[in-house]
Chain A
Amino acid sequence: MNKQISEMHKKRRGRNIALALAIFAVAALFYVMSIVRMSDGTGS
């Protein structure tokens, strides 16, 4: 039972890290996109 719970916690942690990375990647993408568009003069 303890082994099952430990395994479940491990998987949950893995999913949470994956989700955090995805959110960070999207935020970085929007940041870069905004910088590029503003420097191109098309950001307004």
Chain B
Amino acid sequence: MAERPINLINDGAAAVDAPKDHSVMDFISLLKPRVMSLVVFTGFAGLFVAPGEIHPVIAAISILCIAVATGASGAINMWYERDLDAKMARTKNRPIPAGRVQAETALAFGVVLAGGSVMVMGLGVNWVAAALLALAIGFYVFVYTIWLKPRTPQNIVIGGAAGAFPPMIGWAAVTADVGLGGIALFALIFTWTPPHFWALSLYKVDDYEQAGIPMLPVVSGVRETKRQILLYTLLLLPVSLVPCIVGIASIWWGGLALVFGGIFVFFSIVLFYDDTERRPRQMFSFSLLYLSILFAGLIVDTFVSRLY
């Protein structure tokens, strides 16, 4: 009997026709590890600030499930957008468009991980957190990737909710409830997402245009995008104070949020008036720093308040 390459996940005819020279690193890159790190961090923050106690092992399993579910969503996203990815310089070297991983293999990988993470979260932690995790995956795949992203420039505004779920899931892992604190953290990331992504889309506008994705700068122009970024950073200022109002952060953290929110607004004003190329990149980098500082601050703030 003739030997032929075997694909463990999809041992069909396609595996014979197209044996791929993939490596473990290709499967890791399908999980979008850079996105995963920030998601895991915000998920941990939600878990840490939530009132109540959780066994450290259960906490670690919760974070693992959030990480795996995020990666699974990324893999499914890469499967669905493989044709678009091939058209954009930023994404054409991803494992599927580069031909290192078969599309069906990536889909199966994503679906198995997504289902597994929800099941483990439900059995090991609680079913409220598992339901939110399933909702986040479904929202990212069906609402953002499949429905909104190819259709409307508001894709990132509504679709951004998917990325805002992790702290709420972390919160629910401890409390088995959604809670005001979880909603406050959700609102913070939800409002932060549009200026963050629009800053990126400003310097990747050619890529998006070539791929036919209706991002805001492609549809409404650079000026309107900068105006929207400014509006959202202004809105973010009061929204970032909600954690203080609902009692999960101290007045000190509120001060930190105001200072960094002020700098965020300053950067968006500079971006609005300055058309040099480096400004959108600067805005994007600062948006990452902003969220990291606020969530790190929230963890420290909670830690200190529990000490005294």
Contact = CB atoms under 8 A, between A and B. Distances in A.
A18 B4 CA distance: 19
Contacts of B8: 15-16, 19
B5 A11 contact: yes
Interface string A3-43: 00100100110011011000000100110110011001000
Q: Is the interface of B mostly helix, strand, loop or mixed?
A: helix
B235 interface: no
Given A36-B55, A37-B124, A29 B61 contact: yes
Contacts of A26: 116
Contacts, number: 33
A30 B4 CA distance: 35
B57 A8 contact: no
Interface of A: 5, 8, 11-12, 15-16, 18-19, 26, 29-30, 32-33, 36-37, 40
Nearest to B120: A29
B3 A32 contact: no
Interface of B: 3-6, 8, 24, 55, 57-58, 61, 116, 120, 123-124
Nearest to A19: B8
A21 to B, nearest CB: 11
A37 B54 CA distance: 11
Contact of A33 (B3, B24, B124): B124
Most chain B CB within 10 A, of A12, A19, A26, A33, is at A33
Contact of B24 (A18, A29, A37): A18
B197 to A, nearest CB: 33
A13 to B, nearest CB: 11
Contacts of A30: 120, 123-124
